[in-house]
Chain A
């Protein structure tokens, strides 16, 4: 599902050394934990995988597509069909109902809205009865389920989750992880979880781990040398 070789990224400012990511091979349906403290490049790695940024070097294959060879519109269309994303801050639009927020997926992908699929997916994550509510009328857990439904609505092959357990208590974190894994499995998607939460590591012992703390450390050393 994901194969990277010598993947690196140089920030536009160019001041610091490029980020050099370890190689990754993630099979279809597998789970990858992306670990690292703030500033180690988790977000950058996710954005490279999602085709939001172009790599400075190396090869990157996601869902059978070599990323970096497509033009803007092509990569947008590819992302819409192949990638699901659950951000840490859920970004549900307050202007729309829950169903309307899921409708955004079709709008973004340029597809006709499928209300039956919206209802089905909300039911899959256990919040079908909330379709007509506004985001501010939801609890934190309900909102996360809605955001997850939005991420898997088009049955993506790869589901990216950014810190899904941050600010959740143990019980809620376990529920969130179980739901995330179950939903990804239900739609046959590979799962990448960016986290620095040890509870996630403990809860998913069989998952592959990409630890970015080391490259973060290397980067700091490079920076010190430059100074």
Chain B
């Protein structure tokens, strides 16, 4: 054990006897590992987020358009909806024997970037969310804040005014302020980023904004719409017939989340693969760089190594010095690479959060990250293999014959 401690200490001195080479190798190795850590963190969290938000939703029904857009807008709330669909059609779906549950969602307004979603309490129950404070909405214009939205400072009892549109800059519905009736506990799902209210609230705000005359108001009430309906099948058989029925027999569009998300992940996967490959290239460059540095170091220190052999060090111990130098680099690069990877993930998370997109955090640590130091050690050990072998074969006779 003491021998290993000596080996580690000595190799540390040797490593930093060439500070420029050590720093450059460390930098390249760190960047490669950081890229791989970033991909691991982001891909895992996005996969989990998709899986969590999609749980229990078999079909998403909305206006005709891009099915992927419908899923992104209706389930993940990261895109604009394709349009609205008549309430009557949604009610007809509710009566369909193939359908177990329909959750209507009415979109259109937002508050400080958070979407206001008109829905039913079933939506909250679907994700198993619970209230941290207050109650669910009991009357139109009551609103419940997702945990993330509540961090903006609004509390139970506070009033706020929604603005038209899902982005910043829409006109304010000043005549119809919302009142916060409750705040949801963090659920780690899409609800954290939403403001929930009854569908009636959304209708009230928009009908009042659209109607110029009392007669208009009556007409609008008769032709009420929702934006999206989330469906759960009563039996797997519905998957075969219901989407086709909706797509060919109505003005609506039915999109199966599983299919669309697979398509989306395939698209995102290309990006992840590119980043992963970039990390791989950086690691390969780092391996080559470490190899060259160690190879030169062994050549420069040939006499030192021979002196060690003369002093009685077995060849394995001399080779171990070179290997340990590489392992020090791997250890330092792993630490820095993991920290940098997490810092980048956190920065990306802030950027995505600012745009109301998917939640990504750098504060999450994954078991798979244990593979990063192992990967670094493997790369370093491979790079050190030949130089270590060269050190192992150090010929002491060279030392004796040097003038």
Contacts and interface: CB of A to CB of B under 8 A. Distances in A.
A190 to B, nearest CB: 17
Contacts of B306: 91
A109 B311 contact: yes
A96 interface: yes
A87 B311 CA distance: 11
Contacts of B304: 91, 93
Interface string B7-34: 1001001101100000000000000000
B310 A52 contact: yes
Interface string B301-333: 101101111111111010000000000000000
> Which of the four size classes fits the interface of chain B?
20 to 34
Contacts of B403: 88-89, 166
A43 interface: yes
A95 B21 CA distance: 14
Contacts of B397: 43-44, 47, 52-53
Interface in B26-54: none
Given A95-B17, A107-B7, A87 B400 contact: yes
A94 B315 CA distance: 21
B303 A91 contact: yes
Nearest to A73: B314
A61 interface: no
A109 B2 CA distance: 12
Contacts of A106: 6
A96 B308 contact: no
B314 A87 contact: no
Interface residues of A, number: 39
A108 interface: yes
Decide if the interface of chain B is mainly helix, strand, loop or mixed: helix
B314 A76 contact: yes
B3 A108 contact: no
A72 B392 CA distance: 13
A104 B400 contact: no
Contacts of A91: 303-304, 306-307, 399
B400 A47 contact: yes
Given A76-B312, A104-B308, A107-B10, A43 B400 contact: yes
A113 interface: yes
Nearest to A52: B396
Contacts of B308: 104, 107-108
A81 B215 CA distance: 109
B402 interface: yes
B303 A162 contact: no
A95 B312 contact: no
A88 B303 CA distance: 12
Interface string B152-175: 000000000000000000000000
Nearest to A109: B312
A95 B14 contact: yes
B235 interface: no
B10 A104 contact: yes
Contacts of B151: none
Contact of A81 (B307, B309, B312): B312
Contacts of A47: 396-397, 400
A134 to B, nearest CB: 10
A87 B307 CA distance: 9
Given A87-B402, A89-B303, A91-B399, A50 B17 contact: no
Nearest to B403: A88
Interface in B361-391: none
A46 interface: yes
Contacts of B311: 79-80, 85, 104-105, 108-109, 150
A112 B2 contact: yes
B73 to A, nearest CB: 62
Contacts of A81: 312
B19 to A, nearest CB: 11
A108 B402 contact: no
B210 interface: no
Contact of A107 (B301, B313, B401, B402): B313
Interface in A69-121: 72-73, 76-81, 83, 85, 87-89, 91, 93-96, 100, 103-110, 112-113
Contacts of A89: 303, 402-403
Contacts of B10: 96, 103-104, 107
Contacts of A94: 17
A76 B313 contact: yes
16 contacts: A76-B314, A85-B311, A87-B399, A89-B403, A91-B306, A93-B14, A96-B10, A103-B10, A105-B311, A107-B3, A107-B313, A108-B313, A109-B311, A109-B312, A109-B313, A113-B6
Interface of B: 2-3, 6-7, 10, 13-14, 16-17, 301, 303-304, 306-315, 317, 396-397, 399-403
Given A52-B309, A93-B307, A104-B308, 17 more contacts: A53-B397, A76-B309, A78-B312, A87-B310, A88-B402, A94-B17, A95-B13, A95-B14, A100-B13, A105-B311, A107-B10, A107-B317, A108-B311, A108-B312, A109-B312, A150-B311, A166-B403
Interface of A: 43-44, 46-47, 50, 52-53, 72-73, 76-81, 83, 85, 87-89, 91, 93-96, 100, 103-110, 112-113, 150, 162, 166
